[in-house]
Amino acid sequence: MGEFDLIARYFTRPTPRAALGVGDDCALLQPAPGTQLAISSDMLVEGRHFFADVDPAALGHKALAVNLSDLAACGATPMAFTLALALPGVNETWLQGFSQGLLALADAHGCELVGGDTTQGPLNICITVFGEVPVVHGKSQALLRSGARAGDDVYVSGTLGDARLALEALRGHIALPAELLAKARQRLERPTPRVALGQALRGVASAALDISDGLLGDLQHLLKASGVGATLDTSIAIHLLADCAHTACGKDLISFENRLELVLAGGDDYELAFTAPVSARQAVQAAARQADTPVTRIGCIDAEPGLRLQDAEGQHLSGAFASFDHFA
């Protein structure tokens, strides 16, 4: 199968919203008047971001999900994406699964595949995603990392830790019963981008970002961009522990320290961390209900730079919870 047949068979779909989709030198998008275009790009490499034997449908899902998560963090409404794909060879079973997983998530978010590239090479998936953000009275409604202010609350969506739990089990570092691993693996391989929550938080949150490299590490990017610090209550944060990790803890399969580490530095969760003024607490809960996504308030923003962890008694913990850095 040639490159053009491959694109035609697996990656060419109607694009009713885009002015022009796959098949020309460029795709054409026409953002609505008075909107900004939010853009994010993520590259997934075999052995680094996924195992060679991963279900191709899950991989297709994840490749788009991690990009949609960036749009969510910005409060953008998904519009379209491009897919650049390097493949070692043409494996139609793989392509069928991959495109099915990819396009099912795309359809669920009304995000059209408008173009890209296909070539031969070590497996590499690069998706660039486009979303719309309204501009109201000349002011962009995009959620940025830089808007947190001293006194704001700090929130996290959903739950944390199951993706890393699965990763550690797949790496052979911990043993999990098959059923528990299968469930945790879903969180690792099929993350849910918090797109609806991101949109609902426009005009409510003061700053936001997605947690792909671990809560503490990513939150520090937000603090740095905002020129502030934060104090988190670990006795509350621990309630963010995801189902499988909670079960594994109950069965003594992981220790208390590991449990806290999964929450604070697990990574690959694709939840949102965000800040909002105290006056917006009701609005935050309303946004969470509207998006059908739980959010937990875990701390507050301080004027003093740095990230501090407290236990229930207000005692400071020394945190050595490193974040994931692709070149560390």
Q: Taking Cα atoms as reference points, which of 197, 196, 209 lies closest to residue 148? A: 209
Span near a second copy by CB under 8 A; candidates 70-78, 178-186, 246-254, 262-270: 70-78
Q: Are strands 295-302 and 153-157 parallel, antiparallel or unpaired?
A: antiparallel
Q: Measured on CA atoms in the order 165, 168, 169, 173, is the torsion positive or negative? A: negative
Burial class from Cβ neighbours inside 10 Å (0-12, 13-18, 19+) for residue 266 reads buried
CB of 311 to a second copy, least distance (A): 30
309 binds a second copy, rule: CB under 8 A: no
Per CB under 8 A, contacts with a second copy among 203-222 are: 208-210
**Considering beta carbons, is residue 40 or 234 the nearer one to a second copy?**
40
1 binds a second copy, rule: CB under 8 A: yes
196 binds a second copy, rule: CB under 8 A: no
**Considering beta carbons, is residue 23 or 177 the nearer one to a second copy?**
23
* Rounded CA separation 162/263 (Å): 9
CB of 266 to a second copy, least distance (A): 18
255 binds a second copy, rule: CB under 8 A: no
Residues with Cβ within 8 Å of residue 240, at least 6 apart in sequence: 156, 158, 159, 160, 161, 263, 296, 298
91 binds a second copy, rule: CB under 8 A: no
327 binds a second copy, rule: CB under 8 A: yes
326 binds a second copy, rule: CB under 8 A: yes
DSSP symbols for 160-202: BSHHHHHHHHHTTSS---HHHHHHHHHHHHS----HHHHHHTT
36 binds a second copy, rule: CB under 8 A: yes
With CB under 8 A as the contact rule, the residue among 57, 59, 64, 73 that binds a second copy is 73
CB of 85 to a second copy, least distance (A): 7
Q: Does residue 156 contact residue 240 with C-beta atoms inside 8 Å?
A: yes
8 binds a second copy, rule: CB under 8 A: no
Q: Taking Cα atoms as reference points, which of 154, 112, 146, 123 lies closest to residue 51? A: 123
* Rounded CA separation 88/265 (Å): 33
**Considering beta carbons, is residue 142 or 309 the nearer one to a second copy?**
142
Question: Tokens representing 186?
Answer: 């879903």
291 binds a second copy, rule: CB under 8 A: no
**Considering beta carbons, is residue 126 or 291 the nearer one to a second copy?**
126
Question: Tokens representing 191?
Answer: 């993350």
133 binds a second copy, rule: CB under 8 A: yes
Span near a second copy by CB under 8 A; candidates 53-61, 80-88, 253-261, 311-319: 80-88
Q: Report how many residues bind a second copy under the rule CB under 8 A.
A: 71
Per CB under 8 A, contacts with a second copy among 221-250 are: 225
**Considering beta carbons, is residue 132 or 189 the nearer one to a second copy?**
132
* Residue whose entry in the numeric block shows the structure tokens 């519009």: 79
Per CB under 8 A, contacts with a second copy among 98-127 are: 114-122, 124, 126
**Considering beta carbons, is residue 73 or 188 the nearer one to a second copy?**
73
CB of 83 to a second copy, least distance (A): 8
Q: Is residue 209 helix, strand or coil?
A: strand
Span near a second copy by CB under 8 A; candidates 91-99, 129-137, 173-181, 293-301: 129-137
Q: Does residue 17 contact residue 27 with C-beta atoms inside 8 Å?
A: no
* Rounded CA separation 316/295 (Å): 24
